[in-house]
Amino acid sequence: MAFDQGTIGFRSLFISDVHLGARGCQADRLLDFLRYHEAETIYLVGDIVDGWQLRSGWHWPQNHNDVVQKLLRKARKGSRIIYLPGNHDEFLRDYYGTHFGGIEVVETTIHQAADGRRYLVVHGDVFDLVVKHARWLALLGDTAYDFAIFVNRYFNAVRRRLGFSYWSLSQWAKHKVKNAVNYIGAFEQTLAAEAQRRQVDGVICGHIHHAVIHDRFGIRYINCGDWVESCTAVAEHEDGRLEIITWTGEGDLAKLPDPDESPRLDEKTGMAA
């Protein structure tokens, strides 16, 4: 597949937890990212549209619509786009096996990387006991998370005026609050066990807004992160190597390594060797 001049081409891109329709969605940054990055296959790994938020109050500014149009344009130009609905866009689960504007809707899929490794691709909410068995508690947690994003927005506006960089309250909590750390670890271990059960080499998921690549449970675990706070995506190079890209704006383009020169990832940590 030929890519536009001035863009960086990958074999595959994995994007999750965009939350279009939510006020915390950083649609401008995602749109900027999509302008500079192309891929033969783009996986939308759930919670791309936030149906929960849209039901409680309509919020759909032009830049959210622009993201949808950009993805549809990529599909028309030849990218294969696969959409795996999550819990926030669960209304699309009634449409498994169908196509919308060239975008395929599936429940799960197996991605075979260029190096021969096979990855289970799934949003991950069906393995989250809180979402699966206590939906009311998940909705309560979602409201608390939205409040943290609201507070964070104003807190960071003050930080910018003082010349400080962006700082994430909820990301800090995920790393520091014991229950959050334990929850993330349990979620990762459950997804890794499911990948082992399906006899694949790894799992690529979203859901918990925590971008990471590691082999801690004897199998490769990859989380795409989100476009509410971290603004991250997972990219597959032509040789099958996977990396997390964090995108904060156009200036990041100069920081991205050449795909042919990027360092290999350590097999145990998933970090650059």
Crossing angle (nearest 10°) for helices 62-76 and 27-36: 20
What would the DSSP string read from start to end of 160-197? Answer: HHTTPPP--HHHHHHHH-HHHHHHHHHHHHHHHHHHHH
Residue 137 pLDDT more than 70? no
Task: Report the pLDDT value the prediction gives residue 133, as an integer from 0 to 100.
Answer: 40
CATH number of the CATH domain containing 235: 3.60.21.10
> For residue 230, which phi and psi values (nearest 5 degrees)?
-80, -25
Any domain includes 270 = no
Task: Report the pLDDT value the prediction gives residue 152, as an integer from 0 to 100.
Answer: 66
Taking alpha carbons only, the member of 242, 232, 237, 243 closest to residue 208 is 232
Distance CA 125, CA 136 (A): 14
Residue 115 pLDDT more than 90? yes
Instruction: Please compute the mean of the pLDDT values over residues 192-203 and round it to a whole number.
Output: 96
Contact 125, 86 (CB under 8 A): yes
pLDDT band at 265 (very low <50, low <70, confident <90, very high): very low
Any domain includes 269 = no
Neighbours of 219 (CB within 10 A): 19
Instruction: Please compute the mean of the pLDDT values over residues 61-78 and round it to a whole number.
Output: 96
Total count of domains within the chain: 1
Any domain includes 82 = yes
Residue 124 pLDDT more than 70? yes
Task: Report the pLDDT value the prediction gives residue 140, as an integer from 0 to 100.
Answer: 43
The residues with which 75 forms a beta bridge, in sequence order, are none
Any domain includes 180 = yes
Any domain includes 52 = yes
Any domain includes 227 = yes
Instruction: Please compute the mean of the pLDDT values over residues 181-195 and round it to a whole number.
Output: 85
Instruction: Please compute the mean of the pLDDT values over residues 213-238 and round it to a whole number.
Output: 95
Distance CA 237, CA 242 (A): 6
Residue 263 pLDDT more than 90? no
Task: Report the pLDDT value the prediction gives residue 1, as an integer from 0 to 100.
Answer: 73
Any domain includes 53 = yes
Domain carrying residue 77: 8-255
Residue 116 pLDDT more than 60? yes
Instruction: Please compute the mean of the pLDDT values over residues 13-26 and round it to a whole number.
Output: 95
3-class DSSP assignment, residue 68: helix
Any domain includes 251 = yes
